[in-house]
Structure 1
Amino acid sequence: MEIGTMLRNKRKMLGLTQDQFIHGIISKSFYSKVERGLNEISAEDLFAILEVNNINLNDFLKNADSSSKSNRLKVEILVAFNKKDKHKVQELNKKIQISNCDQTIKLSSLLINATLNNELDKINIDTRNEIKRKLFDVEKWWNNVYMLQLFCNSMLIFSFDDLSFYMKQLAKQRDISTMSFDTQRLIGSICINYFHNCYKNHQTAHAKWGYQIIDNLAKLPDLTIYRIIKNYYQALFTGNLKKANEVIDFFKDYDLKEIYTVLP
């Protein structure tokens, strides 16, 4: 049983409409597709929906079959990655690699573990090529939270031309602001990684694709950080060092070391 089917069954057991069940955490149109298996729900959105409806995760998954257990592993490793829990990620990655999870989940797990442990350079060329093929093979990869996570985690193993190709594809999407919050946050993170690659490869003119994508994010307070970082890179790349330093000072004023210490 897939996650979407399990959510639908639990919602119906509670006698709730889709609107009542999701409490505005994600859009109704996006959630409707989750129930039908057309969209993937992120770990954070899933946990938020379960929590707001007072549903215990273990109770939710206790009757899961092997397919749902794969989904559970997939969700758990994303949560562990978000918490930067290296030990938990390593442990889950080992389970996933020997499980019946599909190859996309195994590749994503491998990348998450390598990213958290700074071991991306150890990924062999065959695996790198398979990751690229997976991105090309998935229709509308930009609307699939796991493909976005795969891309975000693997950007360092792509050539700059490859990255620009994917960013151009992403920039063409006009419905980004209607995607789930976690999907938009992933897209924002991808753009920030891309800006760093533009800086590292002295290809600042190509940063326009990232600017365009971030401008299409929903105007939500929690997504404002991506616009601020975009403004920093835009100022840096156009030689406006005064404005770039003002952004750095803003981050320093609020003691956001995890941001300003990694900016060039």
Structure 2
Amino acid sequence: MTIGDALRKERENLDLTQKEMVEGTSISVSHYSKIENDIQDIKAKDLFELLDARKIDVNNFRKKIIDKKRNSLNELADQLTKAFYKPDIKLAKAVKEQLADFSDAEELQIRAELVVAVLTNNLKETKQELSAKLINYFERDATWMDDPDMLRIIGNSTRVIDFNFLATLMNKLLVKYQKIDQYPLDTQKRIGNIFVNYLHVLYDYRAKRMARKYINFLQNLPGIPELTLDKLMGDYYDAVFFKNEKELAQTLSVLKRVVPKIVSGLPEK
């Protein structure tokens, strides 16, 4: 919700005309009309003057704007997820365009770029640009390893980030989360998923020696149902990287029964 939208709702709740809304303030009716219609911005001092004149609580007014904005971003995030899994290129592009209006939604904006690039088979063409954005994003924030949104970005972009930079990020995660059972289940699942995606990248680069420690991590995850798939994927990549045909056949048989949709995208040799 913009400030203009919020002011309009406040005015309508007070049953006032635009002229009555600005009465007793230094704001003209024509200027206020443009503010309501998001044609012009309103200065902070003018906003406070207007809210004070109409006895509108500043904190409540601000909270309404923030809550509405948060809800809008949550809805867009849900739509982006639906667009990816349908798949729906048109919806993904529409969400990406809407997110451009939010100056503080960089995580979602990057996710939207990734989704659109994947759905339009344009990942290779946009890889360099996206990789530069992602590197800049991670280098700016030293707390990224504790931020679920930052971790989500990594999980979605392992095939986009520069390989050498990605290896540095993965190694830092491996060191931080070596005692993974001490973290909440959501964190365990998130880190497991990231390493599964990273192993696919390592396979593409034939980086067998780098894969061993991430395979071990997955295989040593706590033995609880929610982490079964990640543990299975650890067994799967163990068999793929180290040429264990019997283990590969057994693991693929289980994966095809449990998650048949993802098997088609996995290497089998």
Q: Please confirm whether the aligned pair reaches a TM-score higher than 0.5, indicating the same fold.
A: yes
Aligned to 1:242: 246
RMSD of Structure 2 on Structure 1 (CA): 2.9
- Change over 3 Å in CA distance of 1:140–1:241 after alignment to 2: farther
Which ranges in structure 1 are unaligned for 5 or more consecutive residues? 1-61
Matching residue of 2:52: none
C-alpha distance in structure 2 between counterparts of 1:191 and 1:81, whole Å: 24
Q: Partner residue of 2:163?
A: 160
Work out the CA distance in 2 between the residues paired with 1:178 and 1:81: 34
Quick one: structure 1 residues 258 and 139, their matched pair in 2 at CA, closer, same or farther if it must change by over 3 Å?
same
Cα offsets for 1:86-134 (capped at 9, x unmatched): 2433322210023333333322322233234432223263442121111
- Partners of 1:81 and 1:116 within 8 A in 2: no
Q: Does the CA contact (< 8 Å) of 1:170 and 1:213 recur in 2?
A: no
Q: How many residues align structurally? A: 203
> What is the TM-score normalised by the length of structure 2?
0.64
Hey, what does 1:68 align to over in structure 2? 70
Q: Which amino acid aligns with 1:187?
A: I
Which residue in 2 is equivalent to 1:38? none
Shift of 1:78: 5.3
SS at 2:159 equivalent: helix
Distance 2:135 2:265 in 1: 27
Q: How high is the sequence identity, in percent, across the aligned residues?
A: 22
Q: List aligned pairs for 1:172-251, cutoff 5 A.
A: 172-174=175-177, 175-215=179-219, 217-251=221-255
- Structure 1 contact 171–212 (Cα < 8 Å) conserved: no
Post-superposition offset of 1:237: 1.6
Distance (whole Å) between structure 2 residues aligned to residue 188 and residue 96 of structure 1: 29
Q: TM-score, normalised by structure 1?
A: 0.65
What amino acid is aligned across from residue 252 of structure 2 in structure 1? I
Distance 1:89 1:183 in 2: 27
Aligned runs of 1:33-72 on 2, under 5 Å?
63-65=64-66, 67-69=69-71, 71-72=73-74
Structure 1 residues 44-81: Cα deviation after superposition (integer angstroms, max 9, x where no partner): xxxxxxxxxxxxxxxxxx94536524642564245425
Structure 2 unaligned runs (5+)?
1-62
From 61, 79, 82, give the equivalent of 1:80.
82
3-state DSSP class of the match of 1:115?
Answer: helix
